[in-house]
Amino acid sequence: MLKVFDISFAIGDKLLLDNVSFELKPGEFLAILGANGAGKTTLMNCLCGLTRPSNGSILLNQRPLSDMSRADIAMQMALVPQQQETAFAFTALEMVVMGRTPFISTFESPSEQDVIDAKSIMQLLDVGGLAQSDYNRLSGGERQLVLLARALFQSNRLLLLDEPTNHLDFRHRYQVLSQVKRSCIELNTAVIAILHDPNLAQLYADKVLLLEDGKVLNYGERDVVMTSENISRLYGIPATSYQVAQTEFFIPQNVLGQAPSKVVIITGESGSGKTTLLTELIQQCHKDGIPLAGILCPGEMKDGQRFSSDIVDIATNERCLFGHRTGVLDKKTKTRFYFTEQGMALGIKALSPKDIHTKTVCIIDEIGPMELNGHGFGHQIAPLLAMPGSRHIWVVRPNLVSQVCRHWSLHHPQVINITDIDVLEKLIRFAKNNQEYTQT
Amino acid sequence: MPVIKKYTLLSIQSVAVAIIILLVGLYAGRFAINPSDLLSAIQKLPSVLIDLMMTGQVSEELTQQERIILLIRFPRLLTALIVGAGLAVSGAVYQGVFRNPLVSPDILGVASGCMFGAAMGLILPGSSWYTVQLLAFVCGLSAACVAMFMARKFGSNSILLMLMTGIIIGSIFGSGLTMLKALADPYGELPAIVFWLMGSLSASSWSTVAQLAVPVVIGYGLIHSLRYRLNVLCLGDQQSRSLGIEPAKLRLVLIIISSFIVASCVATVGQVAWIGLVVPHMVRTFAGANNMRVIPLSTSIGAIFLLLADSVARSSFTMEIPIGIVTSLVGAPLFAFLLFRFRQGGSY
């Protein structure tokens, strides 16, 4: 039906889509999930031929989309747009009849038969009674059903839905998507839907594509892709899954007032010996046989400033150059540091939940402005927090502590200043998982 | 289909009303005419028209009454009819293309361009009435073209940008017009310009009708056959693309056609305000938004509107009032009334 090969789209030097590929067969429901600004709408625009991808190709029934005329595309692929008011008061029936447009020649108008067909499709979607009502005066749910009726009237082969459940109430949200799913099953319609709620994807989708900063984070069968690790990472908020009637539903950890992930934040001014302290902690833990993971960034100081830094994978003890000060503000990372690719890769590997055992204490040295802006290791943190029974020791600058707590929804984490005399002892106790410690 | 039937009936009614008003207009006037004269004049119409087309002269013997009917009133009423229809239909098209019911046909500076061109024609030495109209037409069309070209050059072909460039071009031609007025001879040329700007149908002849009918009828035919696509265009670029239409292309075609109509109307009779704005508006209040209905009904009702306005203009006072004043005086309050009704829960 639809094949997408490595499409990229850039505006200026800003890459909005980066090598996105997927494939869709008739009758399949593909959900596209992603945080705001991840490129979902850009991807949708490329798919329906509104914008042309800078690279890559899209094949619709073995024909490249770029070779097809607008009408050709419209005959096979219908879009349910985000609903908005029209400037003029068309009736619902007139809106649905417009689905016929690609099939009639430029100077023709739809026939009476078209009107009758449109009415029967509206009947099918339970909006037959609205035929003569002013579209602008319908409720959000009714409008969405009318737009869906138009799309199905236009083509029941491939439907694109752009955030179909926006502004819909509880009942309509499920009504609209159930209708879509019904045509998947009964008419073998292929569907691509941008959804905001991962739980709706769980209920309706066959395949899921997770989009992060224009790149495909994960794509495949729903049950493979939809894990709490991926969801936590995608939305940058630790989420847990619960099973209801054989379906996993995702909920952010902090919402249900679940016991917070145990996080200790060590804070102190630059050069106050935080990394030295952690090194001592690591030695102590090795002696006591406490499993550790995470990263350590021992640096070289010059004139009271960090000049260059290495990165160490605590679990494997691999070490390489992480970065050095350039003095020039990097627009992307908002720091005056240059980071090596090798160092970033080592860090990402050290902080990926797959390589960390659940009972391990995870150390991150350190979480800075870069992570808060979604760069650096920002994407790794939420999935780590989502791991059940995980414990974390983070190094954070004093002025960022409250921001970090808010960003990852930490529920009153223990904050220890480096000048605290008992700091090492406290950390060792935490690492040994003393229950009474976390009660404070 | 009750809706279709109601609409067909409405169209027939509005055309019938236009014909009745036309006949009344032929009959009524300051110069009294017998019904029998009217009848004989209408019988002689075909032969007079053929004469005019072949030789440019009327060979047949005509009484004074018949002359007034056939050579003065008839062409004048037809001009009113065509101009009214043309301005109203292009108003409806502009409103659809710009997806805004408050847009009028001079939004791209067509009218300002026409007025500037006409004023230039009136000032230039040795120019005839014909060159005035030609200059007005050319300037009007080029104003719209420049506005559209600028919008393209500025990047996207967006509606908002076109409105902006329309304002820019309109204001440039407007100041050009003021400058021409300042340069004009205050005893001869200036009054001519001022009167031209007020709009008048009094100079209409059969040749005016001919030169108007060609662009308006052809333009209307094209718009009529494209009117379903205009509906789709009203939904915005994203939706019309997904429905298989190339919005930029269609928009360009429709704007060119309707600018052509507006330029020929304004170049012939001067500024006739409000019709293009009010008439489609009015039609939408009783016929709905569907351009399948709005386009034909706007045309017939626009024709009726200007026929009536012209009757008022030439018969209400001893002196003839400029037509533009009448349409403004009637159109503006009517528009206010429509807006008032809209606020009370009506809908476009």
pLDDT-based confidence at residue A152 (cuts at 50, 70, 90): very high
Residue of B nearest to A79 (CA): B242
The pLDDT tens digits for B195-209 are: 888 888 888 888 889
Which pLDDT belongs to residue A402? 85
Query: CA-CA distance, B83 to B23, in Å (whole number)?
Result: 18
The pLDDT tens digits for A154-171 are: 998 999 998 888 888 888
Residues of chain A in contact with residue B226, where contact means CB-CB under 8 angstroms, are: 106-107
Integer CA distances (angstroms), A128 to A93, A122, A186, B135, in order? 9, 5, 20, 55
The β-bridge relationship of strands A414-417 and A77-80 is unpaired
CA A308 to chain centre: 33
Report whether pLDDT(A260) > 60. Answer: no
Report whether pLDDT(B236) > 50. Answer: yes
- In A44-89, DSSP assigns E strands to 55-60, 63-64, 77-80
Maximum mean pLDDT: which of A194-198, B56-60, B104-108 = A194-198
Report whether pLDDT(A430) > 90. Answer: no
Query: Would residue A317 be called left, alpha or beta, if left means φ above 0 and alpha means ψ between -120 and 50 degrees?
Result: left
Chain A closest CA to B143's CA: distance in Å? Answer: 26
Question: Hey, what amino acid is at A183?
Answer: S
Q: What is the pLDDT averaged over residues B160-187? A: 90
Collapsing DSSP to helix, strand or coil, A218 comes out as strand
Integer CA distances (angstroms), A50 to A46, A65, B157, B161, B165, in order? 6, 11, 14, 20, 25
Closest alpha carbon to B21 in B225, B304, B258: B304
Check CB contact under 8 Å for B244 and A74. yes
Residues of chain A in contact with residue B241, where contact means CB-CB under 8 angstroms, are: 48-50, 70
Q: List A220's β-bridge partners, or say none.
A: A208
Query: CA-CA distance, B77 to B328, in Å (whole number)?
Result: 19
Q: List A362's β-bridge partners, or say none.
A: A293, A392
Domains, chain A, ordered by start: 2-226 (3.40.50.300), 262-439 (3.40.50.300)
pLDDT-based confidence at residue B223 (cuts at 50, 70, 90): very high
Query: CA-CA distance, B261 to A48, in Å (whole number)?
Result: 36
- Quick one: which H or E segment has residue A285? helix A274-288
Q: Is B49 exposed, middle or buried (0-12, 13-18, 19+ CB in 10 A)?
A: middle
Closest alpha carbon to B202 in B84, B45, B77: B77
Share of chain B above pLDDT 70, in %: 95
Q: What is the mean pLDDT of chain A?
A: 84
Q: What is the pLDDT averaged over residues B62-82? A: 86
Residues of chain B in contact with residue A112, where contact means CB-CB under 8 angstroms, are: 1, 4
Which pLDDT belongs to residue A440? 38
Which pLDDT belongs to residue A436? 39
Check CB contact under 8 Å for B243 and A102. yes
Which pLDDT belongs to residue B157? 60
- Closest CB to B235: pick one of A86, A108, A110: A86
Which pLDDT belongs to residue B32? 73
Of residues A22 and B35, the one with the higher pLDDT is A22
pLDDT-based confidence at residue A35 (cuts at 50, 70, 90): confident
| Cβ A74 vs Cβ A154: under 8 Å | yes
Report whether pLDDT(A299) > 60. Answer: yes
Query: CA-CA distance, A232 to A214, in Å (whole number)?
Result: 17
Q: What is the mean pLDDT of chain B?
A: 85
Radius of gyration of chain A, Cα coordinates, nearest whole angstrom: 26
Chain B closest CA to A188's CA: distance in Å? Answer: 21
Q: Which residue has the tokens 């739809």?
A: A110
CA B71 to chain centre: 22
Q: What is the pLDDT averaged over residues A320-347? A: 80
The β-bridge relationship of strands A14-24 and A158-162 is unpaired
Residues of chain B in contact with residue A87, where contact means CB-CB under 8 angstroms, are: 99-101, 234, 348
Collapsing DSSP to helix, strand or coil, A195 comes out as coil
- Closest CB to B288: pick one of A74, A91, A101: A91
Residue of A nearest to B246 (CA): A70
Q: Could you tell me if B174 lies within 8 Å of chain A, comparing CB atoms? A: no
- Phi, psi for residue A246 in degrees, rounded to 5: 65, 10
Residues of chain A in contact with residue B100, where contact means CB-CB under 8 angstroms, are: 87
| Cβ A323 vs Cβ A309: under 8 Å | yes
Report whether pLDDT(B4) > 60. Answer: no
Chain B closest CA to A112's CA: distance in Å? Answer: 9
Residue of B nearest to A136 (CA): B347
- In A234-304, DSSP assigns E strands to 239-244, 247-252, 262-267, 292-296, 299-302
Mutation for A interface: B243, B252, B298, most A CBs within 10 A: B243
Maximum mean pLDDT: which of A83-87, A323-327, B228-232 = B228-232
A·B CB contacts under 8 A: 93
Closest alpha carbon to A372 in B74, A364, A389: A364
- What letters, b where the CB count within 10 A reaches 16 and e where it falls short, cover B261-270? bbbbbbbbbb
The pLDDT tens digits for B297-318 are: 999 999 999 999 988 888 877 7
Residue of A nearest to B92 (CA): A88
Collapsing DSSP to helix, strand or coil, A242 comes out as strand
Report whether pLDDT(B281) > 80. Answer: yes
Check CB contact under 8 Å for B234 and A87. yes
Check CB contact under 8 Å for A90 and B290. yes
Query: CA-CA distance, B128 to B131, in Å (whole number)?
Result: 5
Query: CA-CA distance, A263 to A401, in Å (whole number)?
Result: 12
Query: CA-CA distance, A374 to A380, in Å (whole number)?
Result: 10
Check CB contact under 8 Å for A79 and B245. no
Q: What is the pLDDT averaged over residues B249-267? A: 90
Check CB contact under 8 Å for A88 and B227. no
pLDDT-based confidence at residue A264 (cuts at 50, 70, 90): confident
Mutation for B interface: A44, A76, A88, A111, most B CBs within 10 A: A88
Which pLDDT belongs to residue B156? 64
Chain A closest CA to B347's CA: distance in Å? Answer: 7
Residues of chain A in contact with residue B239, where contact means CB-CB under 8 angstroms, are: 79, 81
Residues of chain A in contact with residue B101, where contact means CB-CB under 8 angstroms, are: 87-88
Question: Hey, what amino acid is at A9?
Answer: F
Report whether pLDDT(B347) > 60. Answer: no
Report whether pLDDT(B346) > 90. Answer: no
The pLDDT tens digits for A226-252 are: 988 899 889 888 888 888 888 889 988
Residue of A nearest to B346 (CA): A89
- Closest CB to B228: pick one of A109, A115, A137: A109
Integer CA distances (angstroms), A154 to A75, A76, A112, A150, A160, in order? 7, 8, 16, 6, 12
Report whether pLDDT(B145) > 60. Answer: yes
Residues of chain A in contact with residue B91, where contact means CB-CB under 8 angstroms, are: none
Residue of A nearest to B3 (CA): A132
Residues of chain A in contact with residue B229, where contact means CB-CB under 8 angstroms, are: 101, 106
Q: Is the peptide bond before A142 cis (omega within 30 degrees of 0)?
A: no
Query: CA-CA distance, B97 to B120, in Å (whole number)?
Result: 31
Residues of chain A in contact with residue B244, where contact means CB-CB under 8 angstroms, are: 69-75, 101-102
Cβ-based neighbours of B24, under 8 Å, separated by 6 or more: B311
Report whether pLDDT(A274) > 70. Answer: yes
Integer CA distances (angstroms), B60 to A282, B51, B289, in order? 118, 8, 49
Which pLDDT belongs to residue A437? 41
Domain residue ranges of chain B, discontinuous segments joined by +: 2-77+103-272
> What's the topology of domain B2-77+103-272?
ABC transporter involved in vitamin B12 uptake, BtuC (1.10.3470)
- Count helices and strands in chain B by DSSP H and E runs: 14, 0
CA B217 to chain centre: 12
Q: Which residue has the tokens 């099973």?
A: A243
Residues of chain B in contact with residue A90, where contact means CB-CB under 8 angstroms, are: 231, 234, 288-290
Q: Where are the alpha helices (DSSP H) in A79-221?
A: 92-97, 112-124, 140-154, 170-187, 198-204
Of residues B31 and B291, the one with the higher pLDDT is B291
